[in-house]
Amino acid sequence: MSTVKSKKLQIGTDATSSNNFTIYQPATPDGTLRIGVGNADSPTEVGKFDSNGYVATNAPAFSAYLSADQSVSSGVITKIQFDTEEFDTNNCFDNITNYRFTPTVAGYYQINASLRSEGSSLSLAAFYIYKNGSSIFIPALDTEHSSTTHISGSTLVHCNGTSDYIEIYGRVDGSSPKFGNDNCRFSGFLARAV
């Protein structure tokens, strides 16, 4: 029995390297088999197989939350300022300026959000998923509670991997309304690349 020791196998001989694939193991073997776009001399990794199966490379995922109460005006749809990241695998979430997710891989993203609204004499609490500055989905609306409510929802959204971005807005109607600290959460991940 013989063993092939080559570390890279190029599939394709097109003059344009981006039309070729390479299967290889890393320079320092770690029990994974890598898949790359490009020629064997310099492939760009797009995925790998390990003992658990296939793992996509550069699949954006993040989770963020509001670290302190955010006061809002009653009845005004307001962007929630998710300022604390739990994780952000591809540095696609802006938790400082725009509080938005701008994924760098084209595909379908599972977007999740929750809102805790607080105040008195509340008559409505809602949050909205926005894409590129426009509301695309209102996953939750609460008119049953007068002082505190917690609502959540999710949807799949297609993003082009370059300019598309996702934000979460909320609305609370009542006296002294606010979004309640770490119970306001926003997360997302690549469900399927295209």
Q: What percent of the chain has pLDDT over 90?
A: 57
- Is pLDDT at 145 greater than 80 in this prediction? no
In the predicted model, what is the mean pLDDT of residues 153-180? 96
pTM higher than the cut 0.85 = no
Alpha helices per DSSP H over the chain: none
- Is pLDDT at 161 greater than 70 in this prediction? yes
Domain boundaries, the chain: 8-56, 61-193
- Is pLDDT at 2 greater than 70 in this prediction? no
Which of the pair, 71 or 10, is modelled with greater confidence? Answer: 71
Q: Are 69 and 178 in contact (CB under 8 A)?
A: yes
Question: pLDDT category, 91, cuts 50, 70, 90?
Answer: very high
Q: What percent of the chain has pLDDT over 70?
A: 95
So what's the pLDDT on residue 5?
Answer: 53
**The tokens of 178 are what?**
């606010």
61-193 placed in CATH 2.60.120.40: yes
Please state whether 12 falls in left (phi above 0), alpha (psi between -120 and 50) or beta. Answer: left
- Is pLDDT at 50 greater than 60 in this prediction? yes
In the predicted model, what is the mean pLDDT of residues 181-194? 91
**Which residue is listed with tokens 């509001």?**
66
Please state whether 117 falls in left (phi above 0), alpha (psi between -120 and 50) or beta. Answer: beta
What is the spatial order of strands in the sheet that 21-24 belongs to?
A: 8-11, 21-24, 33-37, 44-50, 53-56
Distance in angstroms (rounded) separating the CA atoms of residues 179 and 189: 24
So what's the pLDDT on residue 6?
Answer: 57
Taking every pair of C-alpha atoms in the chain, what is the biggest distance, in angstroms? Answer: 79
